[in-house]
Amino acid sequence: MTIHKEGYTSIAIATILFGIINVLSFYFLSSSIPVLSLLIFIGTLGLLLFLISFFRIPKRQLTIQENAIVAPADGKVVVIEEVQADEYFTDRRMQVSIFMSPLNVHVNRNPVSGEVAYSQYHKGKYLVAWHPKSSTENERHSVVYRKDGKEILVKQIAGALAKRICNYLKPGQQVNQTDEMGFIKLGSRVDLLLPLDAKILVNIGDKPKGGVTVIATW
């Protein structure tokens, strides 16, 4: 396991705060209220370990498959439905949405290899990630991948806690399947808009792994 570059500053600040809080706690409380001092140590250590785990990149055998659309994120499948596209596309598409809790790995990966045909950031609200309007009203970053004349759109969507979406892709860029596309801090959601003829291989409630689980084939 390694730590994602987006976490370096946050972890460094948290480690300094952890040290300051516990030095002060030990100096002022350990002799008079040792139980409280111990509880402060355990609580702050737990928060620090949680923060470190949030930025983790676990070692995985990633899936490279020509006709596969691989999960761009860890999480839980919460939506599988046909929708009218509201960005870039003008036709109807199959939407697959993956909800990411704060406990999930938050690295986002390219679901396919190909060309980045579109990459656009949108300011917005911070509705809870499972809210039906979060796809269109929340802060988000949309990317369209083009491969062999076919296209899919991936939306990184901020949630009530997520305040920063990182995306590394630019239009015209050639990318490889399962390489990093970005990172979302704290709980959030990722939507995929797929062609109607894509064969969906997951069900509501499934828990895909980013870069590993095949969401659909085309």
Q: Which residues carry out catalysis? A: 188
Question: b or e along 73-106 (b: 16 or more beta carbons within 10 Å of the residue's beta carbon)?
Answer: bbbbbbbbeeeeeebebeeebbbbbbbbeeebbb
How far apart (Å, rounded) are the C-alpha atoms in residues 194 and 196? 6
Which distant-in-sequence residues (6+ apart) come within 8 Å of 116 by Cβ? 143, 144, 145, 146, 169, 170, 171, 172, 173, 174, 175
Residue 217 β-bridge partners: 68, 199
Tokens matching residue 147:
């491969």
Rounded (10°) CA dihedral 1, 71, 214, 51:
30
